[in-house]
Amino acid sequence: MYTLTPHSHLPTLPRLPRTCRATATSPARTSTADPPRHLPITATTTITTPATANGSSLHSTWAHRAWVASGFASVLSSLAKSVSAAVDSGSAFDPLLAAFLGYILTDLGTGFYHWAIDNYGGPSTPIFGRQIEAFQGHHRWPWTITQREFANNLHALARAVTFAVMPIEFFATANDAAVHAFVGACAGCVMMSQQFHAWAHGTKSRLPPVVVALQDVGVLVSRAEHAAHHRPPYNSNYCIVSGVWNGLLDEWKVFEAMEMMVFFRFGVRPRSWSELELEWKEESGGVSSESHNC
């Protein structure tokens, strides 16, 4: 969901203690837990200025535009097939319901994906490394997302949508309006989630009135709700389509439960337990270098 923020050298650091928060030193002690992973003892990190120092990283390239175009083509293709099938069947109820379900479930999906990317793995993780690094960069420099051009912001998700929708549409029955509607809605919301996310970082005065209105009524994730995710302890409000699931997931402590399960099963602590807030704390910009010893 987040594009890479160049010039950010994200630390692979051990966690330092903070009052009444967890650290990454104690192993899990249950008969079922695997031996925990021990984080590096010492690391030095140099954090340079965020992407704004190099404006080109925020601009859209033709490759970005091509991926966004293919993503939209996939989405529109699904929706067009749905409309066609609905016209043939004479009923719009099922596809409309399916599209609505797709919109609702995508919000939930973005929450789980966002939680996983925010808390586990690192820049060297296969497949997801770039995204993980980008997510961490986003926490440090959240405002840069509002400066990214449209295709620059969406191209990674558009690429994923293109590759995901193609096989689904290939196997879906041509006259199944509901399936096409569900796929189209899901794919569209996934692809646009990064734009919704960018809008959630915008200021009211600079956003289009229709976007503000949609945020205010809960159709799009609100600025206030998403801002809570960027405040300590950085472990809530992970959903970024409409945010409709955020209250429920936080009330039921779903992510807290999952973090505990992962910890006791695999011995891996999530980043949100870290008391070293450097990886999460919003930077005001400028250069800093830190050396951390455990």
Partner 1 sequence: MACTSLPKHSLPFLQASIPTRNPHSPTLTIISKLSQSQIYGLKLSSPSTRLVPSSSLPPRTPMCAKVSKGDVPPSFTLKDQDGKNVALSNFKGKPVVVYFYPADETPGCTKEACAFRDSYEKFKKVGAEVIGISGDDPASHKAFSKKYRLPFTLLSDEGNKVRKQWGVPSDLFGTLPGRQTYVMDRNGVVQLVYNNQFQPEKHVEETLKLLKSL
Contact residues toward partner 1 (CB under 8 A) are 17, 19-32, 216-218, 222, 233, 242, 244-245, 247-248, 251-253, 256-257, 259-261, 263-265, 273
Q: Least distance to partner 1 from the beta carbon of 38, Å?
A: 13
Q: Closest Cα partner for 186 from 292, 265, 108, 280?
A: 108
CA distance 158 to 189: 11
Sign of CA dihedral 274, 279, 284, 288: positive
Pairing of the two strands 288-293 and 42-47: antiparallel
Q: Least distance to partner 1 from the beta carbon of 13, Å?
A: 16
Residue type, 280: W
Q: What stretches of 45-92 show up as alpha helix (H) in DSSP?
A: 62-89
CA distance 48 to 37: 29
For residue 19, what is the DSSP state?
T
Q: Least distance to partner 1 from the beta carbon of 250, Å?
A: 10
Q: Least distance to partner 1 from the beta carbon of 15, Å?
A: 9
Q: Which residue has the tokens 């989630």?
A: 193
Q: Least distance to partner 1 from the beta carbon of 210, Å?
A: 16
Q: Which two tokens stand for residue 83?
A: 């409309």
Q: Which residue has the tokens 């987040």?
A: 2
Q: Least distance to partner 1 from the beta carbon of 141, Å?
A: 26
Smaller CB distance to partner 1: residue 50 or 102? 102
Q: Least distance to partner 1 from the beta carbon of 8, Å?
A: 27
CA distance 194 to 155: 10
CA distance 230 to 281: 8
For residue 124, what is the DSSP state?
T
Smaller CB distance to partner 1: residue 194 or 215? 215
Q: Closest Cα partner for 110 from 291, 283, 240, 254?
A: 240
